[in-house]
Amino acid sequence: CGVFGVTGVTDAANFVALGLHALQHRGQEAGGIVSYHPDHDFNSVRRFGYVRDNFTKQSLMETLPGSLSIGHVRYSTAGSKAAAIRDVQPFFGEFSMGGAAIAHNGNITNADALRRELIERGSIFQSSSDSECIIHLMARSLQRNIPERMEDALRRVEGAFSIVAMTRTKLIGVRDPLGVRPLVLGQIGEGWVLSSETCALDIIGATYVREIEPGEMVVITGEKVESSFPFRRQKPRFCIFEHVYFSRPDSIIGGRSVYETRRQIGVELAREAPVEADLVCPVPDSGTPAAIGFSQESGIPYAMGIIRNQYMGRTFIEPTESIRNMGVRLKLNVNRALIQGKRVILVDDSVVRGTTSRKIKEMILDAGAAEVHFRIASPPTAWPCFYGVDTPQREKLLAATMSEEEMREHLAVDSLKFISLDGLYRAVGEAEGRNKSCPQYCDACFSGEYPVVPADMVSKGFEM
Ligand code: SF4
Ligand code: MG
C-alpha cells in the first residue's frame, strides 16, 4: 500500500490526490482520502479503482476541504480479498478528545489474536482489515492525547507498519521498530508532507527532508515537528524487496537511488551468471533497470524485445489468479521483428508463481527466438511475505518446491539464473554482502529468516 499526508497548505486533499497518484504502483485496488476543516469537520471519500479516475473530479474534491489531509492506496494483503469498500482506508475513529484517521502500510502479524481479544472485550469491527485493530486499541487506551493513545496501541502490534494519521490539528507519522516499510518527511512552503516514497514529493513540488527512522513517531502541529522513539530500539530490517521491485525507480531510499540499485543488480547478475547471447531484453517495466545494468556489464546490446501496453497496471497486484493469468498477454507482447533468430537474455525482477516467465517464454519462442535465457534480479522467492507484500501461500511459490534446475525445466528455457543473496546485498550497497548472523535487511521471502515471528500464521500451522 501507499500512504500520504499533508498539512499547512490550502485544499490539502488536492495535494494528497496527486501524492497518491504518484504512489499508485503501491496499490491499485482502491484509494481513500480524509480531510479536516474547522467549519466542515472531518470528511472522507473512499473508492475502488485508480486515483486518477476518482480523485480528479472537482465536485468530489470540493467535499474534502481543509489544510490537513491524509490518504491511502490499497493493495490487499490481509483481510478479505473480496472487494469491500469497508476495507478501504483511511480508517476513522471518534475518541473523547476528538476524531482521528489513520492510513497503514504493512501488515500486522498478530492481528487475528488482537481482533479476537478486542471483540471479546466489546469492540465492534467495521472491516476485515488487520489495520482496524489499531483504532480499537487506541479506543481502549487510557492516555489523554491521541498520539499517546497511538503509541499505546502500536506497542501491542507486531509486524510491519508505516502509518500516516491525522487529528483535527496534527499530522502524525510512525514506523515500526524494524522500519520494514518506507516513510519519508518532506516540506512544502510552510507545510509538511509524509509519504511512502520520495517520488510522491516530487509530483507536488515538495522538498525531501529526511526519512522517518525505524521506530520513530513524528507529530506535526502547525510548523512544529516533534520526534520521539516510543518503542524498544531494535536493529532495523528494511524490506530488501522494496529495492528490487516494490518502490518506484525514481525514488530515493536510504540515500540510494532505487534505479541505481536495480541497475547495479543487473551488473552483479552479469558477473555471477554470464551467458553468450545476441540481445539483453527486459521484462518491462520491473526488469528494465537490471537489464540495462546487465547489458552494460556484459557488453551485449540492450533491446526492447517485449513491448508493454502502457494502459495495464501491475499484473502481480491483481488479486485473483484468473485475472493474473490473462494479465500477462494483455500487458506484454513480443517485438517479433527484433527477436526472430536471436539468442535472447530476458531479465525480470522476480519469479513468484512462474506465471509471467512461462507465458513470456512461450511468446518469445513463438516469435522465433533461437535461445531463451532468464536472468532474475532477485534470489528465488521461496517463502511468503507476512509484512505487506502479497506473496501467495508457500505451495504456490515455484521456488518453494523446485530447485533452480527443476524450475529451468519447468519453464523449458535454455538457462535460468537468479542473483545470489550476497550479490543482492552488494547491489544495495553492502560491500561485504549479507551479514549472516545479523542481516542488514529483511529478506525473509528469499531466506526464510523472519525478523518478526508471524504469530497468526504460526498458530494456523505455518512452519518457519
Ligand atoms: Fe520485503 Fe520479502 Fe521481507 Fe516481505 S519478506 S518484507 S517482501 S523482504
Ligand atoms: Mg514484472
Dump pLDDT digits (tens) for 437-454: 999 999 999 999 999 999
Atom of ligand 1 nearest to the CA of 391: 7
241 falls within a domain = no
Proximal ligand: closest to the CA of 243 = 1
250 falls within a domain = no
Same domain flag for 189 and 322 = no
Secondary structure (DSSP) of 77-121: SSS-SS--GGGPSPEEEEETTEEEEEEEEEEETTHHHHHHHHHHT
325 falls within a domain = yes
Atom of ligand 1 nearest to the CA of 240: 8
Is-cis flag, bond preceding 90, omega within 30? yes
State the CATH number of the domain containing residue 144.
3.60.20.10
The residue nearest atom 8 of ligand 1, judged by CA position, is: 443
Same domain flag for 174 and 268 = no
Same domain flag for 221 and 279 = no
440 falls within a domain = yes
> How many angstroms does the Cα of residue 244 sit away from the middle of ligand 2?
11
pLDDT at 315 over 90: no
Residues with CB under 6 A from ligand 1: 180, 239-241, 385, 387, 389, 442-445
**Total domains in the fold of the chain:** 2
> How many angstroms does the Cα of residue 349 sit away from the middle of ligand 1?
14
Banded model confidence at residue 239, pLDDT cuts 50, 70, 90: very high
Proximal ligand: closest to the CA of 350 = 2
Same domain flag for 171 and 317 = no
245 falls within a domain = no
pTM of the model: 0.95
339 falls within a domain = yes
- Segment 321-333 mean pLDDT: 74
316 falls within a domain = yes
Domain termination site, one of 188, 208, 236: 236
Same domain flag for 232 and 260 = no
Domain termination site, one of 236, 264, 289: 236
Q: Cα dihedral angle (322, 320, 51, 83), rounded to 10 degrees?
A: 130
Same domain flag for 219 and 331 = no
Same domain flag for 308 and 382 = yes
Same domain flag for 214 and 269 = no
> How many angstroms does the Cα of residue 193 sit away from the middle of ligand 2?
30
Dump pLDDT digits (tens) for 379-438: 999 999 999 998 888 999 999 999 999 999 999 999 999 999 999 999 999 999 999 999
pLDDT at 44 over 90: yes
Same domain flag for 51 and 159 = yes
Provide ipTM, 2 decimals.
0.92
State the CATH number of the domain containing residue 447.
3.40.50.2020
Banded model confidence at residue 328, pLDDT cuts 50, 70, 90: confident
Average per-residue pLDDT in the chain? 94
Atom of ligand 1 nearest to the CA of 384: 5
- Decide: helix, strand or coil at residue 223: coil
Same domain flag for 192 and 267 = no
Is-cis flag, bond preceding 349, omega within 30? no
Same domain flag for 298 and 344 = yes
Pick the closest to residue 448 from 381, 351, 353, 354 (CA basis): 381
Task: For residue 9, give its domain range.
Answer: 2-236
Q: How far, in whole angstroms, is CA 164 from its chain's centroid?
A: 15
Q: Name the percent of the chain lying above pLDDT 70.
A: 95
380 falls within a domain = yes
Confidence at residue 323, expressed as pLDDT on a 0 to 100 scale: 67
| Rounded Cα gap, residues 452 and 304, in angstroms | 40
Which of the residues are catalytic? 1
